């Protein structure tokens, strides 16, 4: 089993969610996050108004998956949340030892 | 009594305790599960069963000098399925200790083993009285003491003693109790306005009815409207009973997930109907509680005052026809209650601004005797309405009193549909009406960010007004807000702005979290909908006030930063085509002629229907003129509602809209004379004002800090200084004095009082009629800011 974590732009959440739903992923955890990556925050000039952005608001999305689905799901997330501009985010995958469904006590794949 | 006389420790019970307990448990379960039993019957059936069980267990051990007393809820015969059994074994001290211990063991072990939640104690009469004296919680429980078994003389003795002690010590205990009530309200919120209230602990809940009884028992204050309280209390007990039966737990918090089932058990349509009735009960109890505590305060202050220090209660004037009396707001003796349509609003505004409650009798007369407001409202009423809304947290209490008395619905008929209206979303913690007034209180702190504080406050009040109707509440609300704003007498532009603010109050957070802010189309779309930077500022402040009032999850730093980002981008977009330029002069021809001749004159017009008297000053312009005029007007207790200052040739033409604080405005010649003396230095205006400020108590309201800023590029020919602050007597004089002492000329100025806030704009030049250098302008800005700040 794997944990797929994606940090993406907030406005992309709805798109990613519906893409994952149609792929067959029905559960996920979403949280509000903020941070910065390589761009270290940035100064923007917009119509003469200059302002700096230190921590950029993002959405963090976590999905638990069977190993077989991981590559496809990562691809779906990356494709849907891409705008091609700085700050599109990251997706990473980590191995998971075990998963337990709290209500029933089921373990492993059954608990997904 | 076969055991009587046998050795201590060998007394035996008349029947097998285990069998008695089994019988009790079965009977208890049957009562709890009986579907057709009304809640009141269940309470009394549970109490009867429990009494019998305790009596049977105690039975054979009965000895003179010992009694079993039920206290707390059990004492009041109000057992619900999850109640504790609160039992006190009390003895008169005539029996040896080990005999009492044996009786206690015989009673409490079976009770304990039965696993029914038990709160027990064993005390002598003296001990019980002492503990009640040390701990008001114990005293409160004992005030409801009821004899269950044993020696009735002992039970009566403890009840009488605790009540007598309570009365004697009331002056000391009641303030302590009040503090505890306050702390609990802070912790558990107010029953009437919570979406998930605690039936016992929330303010206006069951705990407060017990506290009220205790206050009444102290004889310090009367028990108000006892029938309504009893009814509300009965209903809350009924809901509590249904809640315990639904959850099978002891928690008294009415959670969203259980509300439907509880409503169903009570035969109500749905959770909304349930919550609405719980709200009403909570409001009735909270109101009674407020009133009672106020009269306790008065009674205790009167008692503690020593006779030689006793002064005649002072009546401090707050507004025309409105005075403060004993920390409450009442009508002045000369107030014309039946004919003065603006009096109700004026009194309410004065109360909110002074941070004081309206006296109960005043509130009653307000509802019963004041005439209906004319539609549209006169300007003075609208301004008072904004002052009522602009007092921050102090607005909420006054508003709730007016609302409970039915005054708000008279002013705003559409309010009826959102009264007590629950909203079932995880974001909100309050009912719609309370959320609206909380949003107003939050908005009061943001008034410095906008040009029109009055529109911000009214928009905050009305933003969810559409929630009483089906359909999207923003668009429905926009229509209702339009009607209400017109009723309040706002002009067409303001009516439209208010309506649009309501329509778009969710626009910023929705777009910020669901659209690409880097996409210029997103920013352009919002800019198109919003239209101007003024409206954008209003909408941004409204969004923040709404979210802060909703609950802690609605305005996280994450959300705030997204909205802020959007606002910054939209502002940048709008700045591209902001209309700029000088404001047009509005000087009337006759004043222009007078000014051109270099005359010095002061004219006062008779007050119009709104009590506004126009004061026109024409005088040769000089540094310090504005400060002198502002000071003289304040000395004559004229409140400045607005002013425009223009320069014609070398003369200044100032037109002031003023309202006299009491009585008719002064004559022209008095003002003229004082102004001359102020200008030639024989009248020290500043010193007189300082002395008066020393006499007056500071207003109790906490207001947003003032904001002083330079508006770059607003004018080619002058430096523009903008001041946004809470209105206070002499404020304008302070600002103008700082400007004058810097040797700066005021070419023109626009002063506007919007409810409790002022927005002043000054066009400043140096002696050569040029804009000030940047460093001078910035230094002046800081000096003005400091001068206003040090007043507060």
Least CB–CB distance from B568: residue in A9, A13, A49:
A49
Least CB–CB distance from A48: residue in B514, B556, B575:
B575
Q: Note the pLDDT of residue B8.
A: 40
Q: How many CA atoms lie within 13 A of B383 on its CB side?
A: 19
Q: Label residue B313 by pLDDT band (50, 70, 90).
A: low
Domain identity same for B434 and B541: yes
| Structural contact between residues A91 and A6, judged by C-beta atoms closer than 8 angstroms | yes
B630 or B423, higher pLDDT:
B630
- pTM of the complete model beyond 0.80: no
- Whether B723 is in a domain gets the answer yes
Least CB–CB distance from A83: residue in B516, B559, B565:
B516
Peptide bond into B186 cis (omega under 30): no
- pLDDT above 50: residue B383: yes
Asked if A46 lies within 8 A of B513 by C-beta distance, the reply is no
Q: Note the pLDDT of residue B60.
A: 55
Q: Label residue A39 by pLDDT band (50, 70, 90).
A: low
- pLDDT above 70: residue B579: no
Quick one: average pLDDT of B293-297?
Answer: 85
Q: Does A41 touch chain B (CB under 8 A)?
A: no
Q: Does A57 touch chain B (CB under 8 A)?
A: yes
Q: Note the pLDDT of residue A54.
A: 67
Q: What percent of chain B has pLDDT over 70?
A: 92
Quick one: average pLDDT of B265-284?
Answer: 88
CA distance A74 to chain B (A): 22
| Structural contact between residues B220 and B174, judged by C-beta atoms closer than 8 angstroms | yes
Last residue of a domain, one of B303, B326, B341: B303
Q: Note the pLDDT of residue B427.
A: 75
CA distance A98 to chain B (A): 31
Rg over CA atoms, chain B: 33
Helix (H) or strand (E) holding B641: strand B638-648
Domain identity same for B626 and B772: yes
Look up the ipTM and state it.
0.70
Q: Note the pLDDT of residue B429.
A: 81
Beta strands in B252-326 (DSSP E): 315-319, 322-325
The conformational region for residue B447 under phi > 0 = left, psi -120 to 50 = alpha, else beta, is alpha
| Structural contact between residues B629 and B645, judged by C-beta atoms closer than 8 angstroms | no
Asked if B565 lies within 8 A of A46 by C-beta distance, the reply is no
pLDDT per residue over B86-98, tens digit each?
Answer: 999 999 888 888 8
pLDDT per residue over B595-631, tens digit each?
Answer: 888 888 888 888 777 778 888 899 888 888 888 898 8
pLDDT per residue over A70-97, tens digit each?
Answer: 999 999 999 999 888 878 889 999 999 9
- Please list every residue in chain A whose beta carbon sits closer than 8 Å to the beta carbon of residue B571: 49
For chain A, the distance separating the N- and C-terminal CA atoms, rounded to the nearest angstrom, is 9
What tokens appear for B383 in the block?
């301004």
Cβ–Cβ contacts within 10 Å for residue B633, how many? Answer: 26
- Whether B414 is in a domain gets the answer no
CA distance A6 to chain B (A): 17
Q: What is the mean pLDDT of chain A?
A: 84
Closest by CA position to B58, among listed B114, B115, B96, B20: B20
CA distance B573 to chain A (A): 6
Q: Note the pLDDT of residue A41.
A: 53
Domain identity same for B625 and B768: yes
Domain identity same for B606 and B567: no
| Structural contact between residues B434 and B420, judged by C-beta atoms closer than 8 angstroms | no
The nearest alpha carbon in chain B to A32 belongs to B558
- pLDDT above 70: residue A43: no
Q: Does A54 touch chain B (CB under 8 A)?
A: no
Q: Label residue B312 by pLDDT band (50, 70, 90).
A: low
Quick one: average pLDDT of B32-53?
Answer: 88
Asked if A57 lies within 8 A of B558 by C-beta distance, the reply is yes
Best-predicted range by mean pLDDT (A88-92, B138-142, B668-672) = A88-92
Q: Note the pLDDT of residue B590.
A: 82
- Please list every residue in chain A whose beta carbon sits closer than 8 Å to the beta carbon of residue B562: 10, 57
Q: Which residue has the tokens 């169903």?
A: B264
What total of structural domains would you count in chain B? 4
The nearest alpha carbon in chain A to B509 belongs to A11
Q: Which residue has the tokens 């706002």?
A: B490
Domain identity same for B602 and B751: yes
The conformational region for residue B532 under phi > 0 = left, psi -120 to 50 = alpha, else beta, is beta
Last residue of a domain, one of B303, B325, B358: B303
Domain ranges of chain A: 2-111
Interface test mutation site (partner B, options A9, A34, A46, max chain B beta carbons within 10 A) = A46
Domain identity same for B202 and B161: no
With a CB cutoff of 8 Å and minimum separation 6, the contacts of B183 are none
Range of the domain at B109: 17-168
- Please list every residue in chain B whose beta carbon sits closer than 8 Å to the beta carbon of residue A14: 514
- Topology of the domain covering A2-111: Alpha-Beta Plaits (3.30.70)
Domain identity same for B605 and B692: yes
The nearest alpha carbon in chain A to B510 belongs to A11
- pLDDT above 50: residue A46: no
What tokens appear for B788 in the block?
């206003």
Last residue of a domain, one of B254, B277, B303: B303
- pLDDT above 80: residue B223: no
Domain identity same for B241 and B99: no
With a CB cutoff of 8 Å and minimum separation 6, the contacts of A98 are A1, A107, A108
Q: For helices A70-81 and A13-23, what crossing angle results, to 10°?
A: 150
With a CB cutoff of 8 Å and minimum separation 6, the contacts of B549 are B430, B435, B438, B439, B441, B442
B755: phi then psi, degrees, rounded to nearest 5: 65, -125
pLDDT per residue over B494-505, tens digit each?
Answer: 999 999 999 999
B30: phi then psi, degrees, rounded to nearest 5: -60, -40
- pLDDT above 90: residue B538: yes
Strand B85-91 and strand B118-124: the pairing is parallel
Q: Does A36 touch chain B (CB under 8 A)?
A: no
Q: Label residue B3 by pLDDT band (50, 70, 90).
A: very low
- Whether B418 is in a domain gets the answer no
Asked if B576 lies within 8 A of A47 by C-beta distance, the reply is yes
- pLDDT above 60: residue B693: yes
Domain identity same for B278 and B155: no
Quick one: average pLDDT of B267-285?
Answer: 89
Q: Note the pLDDT of residue B11.
A: 41
Asked if A34 lies within 8 A of B557 by C-beta distance, the reply is yes
Q: Label residue B15 by pLDDT band (50, 70, 90).
A: low
Asked if A10 lies within 8 A of B562 by C-beta distance, the reply is yes
Q: Note the pLDDT of residue B696.
A: 57
Of B180-184, B491-495, B633-637, minimum mean pLDDT range? B633-637
Domain identity same for B501 and B553: yes
Q: How does DSSP assign B244-260, residue by residue?
A: HHHHSS---B--HHHHH
Least CB–CB distance from A49: residue in B513, B517, B575:
B575
* Chain B residues touching chain A at CB-CB below 8 Å: 513-518, 556-559, 561-562, 565, 568-569, 571-573, 575-576
Whole-angstrom distance, CA of residue B191 vs CA of residue B206:
10
Q: Note the pLDDT of residue A31.
A: 92
Asked if B514 lies within 8 A of A11 by C-beta distance, the reply is yes
Whole-angstrom distance, CA of residue B507 vs CA of residue B544:
12
| Structural contact between residues A8 and A62, judged by C-beta atoms closer than 8 angstroms | no
Domain with B765 in it: what CATH number? 3.30.70.260
Tally A–B CB contacts below 8 A. 44
Quick one: average pLDDT of B250-269?
Answer: 89
For residue B761, the cross-strand partners are: B722, B750
Q: What is the mean pLDDT of chain B?
A: 85
CA B543-B547-B553 angle, to 5 degrees, is 145
- pLDDT above 90: residue B492: yes
- Whether B355 is in a domain gets the answer no
């Amino acid at each position: 089993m794997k944990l797929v974590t994606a940090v993406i732009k907030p406005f992309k959440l709805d798109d990613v969610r519906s893409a994952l739903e149609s792929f067959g992923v029905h559960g996920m955890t979403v949280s509000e996050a903020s941070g910065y990556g390589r761009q270290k925050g940035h100064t923007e000039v917009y119509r003469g108004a200059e302002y700096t952005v230190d921590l950029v608001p993002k959405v963090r999305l976590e999905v638990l998956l069977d190993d077989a689905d991981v590559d496809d799901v990562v691809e779906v997330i990356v494709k849907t949340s891409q705008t091609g501009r700085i700050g599109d985010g990251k997706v990473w995958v980590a191995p998971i030892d075990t998963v337990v469904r709290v209500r029933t006590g089921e373990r492993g794949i059954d608990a997904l | 009594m076969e055991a009587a006389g046998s050795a201590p420790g060998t007394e035996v019970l008349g029947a097998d305790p285990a069998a008695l307990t089994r019988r009790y448990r079965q009977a208890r379960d049957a009562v709890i599960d009986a579907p057709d039993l009304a809640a009141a019957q269940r309470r009394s059936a549970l109490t009867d069963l429990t009494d019998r069980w305790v009596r049977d267990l105690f039975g054979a051990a009965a000895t003179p000098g010992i009694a079993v007393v039920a206290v707390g809820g059990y004492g009041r015969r109000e057992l619900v399925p999850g109640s504790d059994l609160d039992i006190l074994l009390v003895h008169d001290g005539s029996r040896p200790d080990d005999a009492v211990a044996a009786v206690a063991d015989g009673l409490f072990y079976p009770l304990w083993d039965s696993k029914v939640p038990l709160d027990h104690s064993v005390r002598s009469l003296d001990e019980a009285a002492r503990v009640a004296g040390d701990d008001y919680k114990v005293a409160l429980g004992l005030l409801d003491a009821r004899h269950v078994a044993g020696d009735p003389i002992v039970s009566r003795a403890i009840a009488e003693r605790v009540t007598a002690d309570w009365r004697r010590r009331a002056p000391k205990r009641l303030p302590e109790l009040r503090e505890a009530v306050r702390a609990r309200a802070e912790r558990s919120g107010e029953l009437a306005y919570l979406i998930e209230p605690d039936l016992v602990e929330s303010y206006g809940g069951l705990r407060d009815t017990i506290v009220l009884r205790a206050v009444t028992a102290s004889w310090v204050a009367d028990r108000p409207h006892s029938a309504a309280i009893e009814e509300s209390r009965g209903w809350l007990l009924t809901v509590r009973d249904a809640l315990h039966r639904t959850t099978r737990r002891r928690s008294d918090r009415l959670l969203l997930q259980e509300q439907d089932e509880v409503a169903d058990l009570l035969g109500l349509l749905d959770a909304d109907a349930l919550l609405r009735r719980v709200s009403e009960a909570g409001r009735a109890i909270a109101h009674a509680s407020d009133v009672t505590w106020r009269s306790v305060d008065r009674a205790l202050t009167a008692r503690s005052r020593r006779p030689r220090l006793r002064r005649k209660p002072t009546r401090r004037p707050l507004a025309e026809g409105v005075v403060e009396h004993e920390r409450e707001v009442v009508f002045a003796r000369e107030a014309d209650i039946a004919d003065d349509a603006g009096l109700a609003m004026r009194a309410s505004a004065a109360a909110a601004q002074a941070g004081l409650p309206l006296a109960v009798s005043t509130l009653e007369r307000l509802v019963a005797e004041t005439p209906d407001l004319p539609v549209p409202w006169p300007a003075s009423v609208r301004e008072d309405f904004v002052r009522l809304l602009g007092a921050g947290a102090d607005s909420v209490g006054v508003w709730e009193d007016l609302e409970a008395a039915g005054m708000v619905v008279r002013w705003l008929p559409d309010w009826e549909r959102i009264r007590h209206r629950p909203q079932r979303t995880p974001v909100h913690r309050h009912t719609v009406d309370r959320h609206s007034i909380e949003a107003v209180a939050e908005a009061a702190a943001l008034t410095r960010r906008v040009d029109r504080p009055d529109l911000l406050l009214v928009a905050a009040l009305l933003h969810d007004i559409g929630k009483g109707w089906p359909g999207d509440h923003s668009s429905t609300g926009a229509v209702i807000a339009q009607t209400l704003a017109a009723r309040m007498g706002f002009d067409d532009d303001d009516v439209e702005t208010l309506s649009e603010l309501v329509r778009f109050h969710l626009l910023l957070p929705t777009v910020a979290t669901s659209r690409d802010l880097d996409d210029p189309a997103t920013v352009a779309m919002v800019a198109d909908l919003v239209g101007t930077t003024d409206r954008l500022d209003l909408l941004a402040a409204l969004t923040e006030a709404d979210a802060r009032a909703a609950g802690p999850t609605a305005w996280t730093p994450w959300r705030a930063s997204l909205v802020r980002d959007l606002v910054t981008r939209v502002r940048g977009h709008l700045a591209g085509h902001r209309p700029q330029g000088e404001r047009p002069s509005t000087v009337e021809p006759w004043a222009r002629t007078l000014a051109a001749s270099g005359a010095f004159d002061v004219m006062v017009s008779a007050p119009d229907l709104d009590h506004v008297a126009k004061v026109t000053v024409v005088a040769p312009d000089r540094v310090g003129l504005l400060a002198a005029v502002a000071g003289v007007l304040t000395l004559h207790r004229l409140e400045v509602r607005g002013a425009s200052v223009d320069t014609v040739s070398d003369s200044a033409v100032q037109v002031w809209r003023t309202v006299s604080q009491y009585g008719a405005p002064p004559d022209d010649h008095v003002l003229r004379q004082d102004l001359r003396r102020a200008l030639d230095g024989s009248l020290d205006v500043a010193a007189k004002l300082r002395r008066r400020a020393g006499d007056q108590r500071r207003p109790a309201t906490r207001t947003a800090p003032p904001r002083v800023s330079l508006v770059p590029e607003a004018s080619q020919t002058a430096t523009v200084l903008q001041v946004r602050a809470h209105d206070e007597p002499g404020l304008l004089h302070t600002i103008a004095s700082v400007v004058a002492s810097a040797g700066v000329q005021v070419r023109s100025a626009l002063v506007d009082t919007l409810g409790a806030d002022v927005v002043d704009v000054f066009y400043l030049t140096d002696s050569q009629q040029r804009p000030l250098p940047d460093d001078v302008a910035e230094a002046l800005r800081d000096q003005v800011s400091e001068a206003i700040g040090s007043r507060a």
